[in-house]
Amino acid sequence: DLTRVGLVNPADPPTREDMQRLVDRGDTLIIIDALDPAGHLIGADTNTSEGIQKVVRTFIDPFAGRCLLIIDHVAKDKESRGRFSIGSQRKLAAVDVHIGLSLIGSKPLTREGGEARTQITIHKDRFGGIRRGPGNRCGVITWTAAPGGERITHTVTDTHDEPHGDD
């Protein structure tokens, strides 16, 4: 039921009352975009375990039992990229499922239109319910943009049995 999805973009650190109002709204899907800016908003250093724990207590724990999607970014340099996102390894420990998206090939989606594909890879599945194939791959998203970038559509393909090229 996606009828209870809301958008909040705070400019100031949330108070306990602010967080309680968000919890009381009853949203069924909560999206945090992105984790590091949320941490910086409350003065947490997301490169440390203590900072990540502060982010977890502030933004994640209040929504226990709900679907929480946290967007986090990896290092731009593929060589320095680890198994988890930028910052503390505590991020990986705090989540039940960690999904990675990576561009297949070198063709990005542009406003001129066209098509790009991203590989869905499961890095962590605490409960073991996500079906996946070789390399922990579970699917591909094909993004198609109309010329002018007015409309972007996507198709998700279950490819757990198909090997794919570039990671």
Q: What is the pLDDT of residues 8-63, one digit of tens each?
A: 788 899 999 999 999 998 888 888 888 888 999 999 998 888 999 999 999 989 99
**Angle, vertex CA 125, rays to CA 127 and CA 104, nearest 5:** 150
Strands (DSSP E) found in 3-96: 29-33, 67-71
Peptide bond before 34: cis, by omega within 30 degrees of 0? yes
- Is the alpha carbon torsion for 117, 104, 129, 6 positive or negative? negative
Q: Which two tokens stand for residue 64?
A: 């226990």
104 vs 34: CA distance, rounded Å? 23
Cβ atoms of 30 and 68 closer than 8 Å:
yes
Q: What is the pLDDT of residues 97-131, one digit of tens each?
A: 888 888 888 877 777 888 889 888 888 888 888 88
Predicted TM-score (pTM) of this structure: 0.70
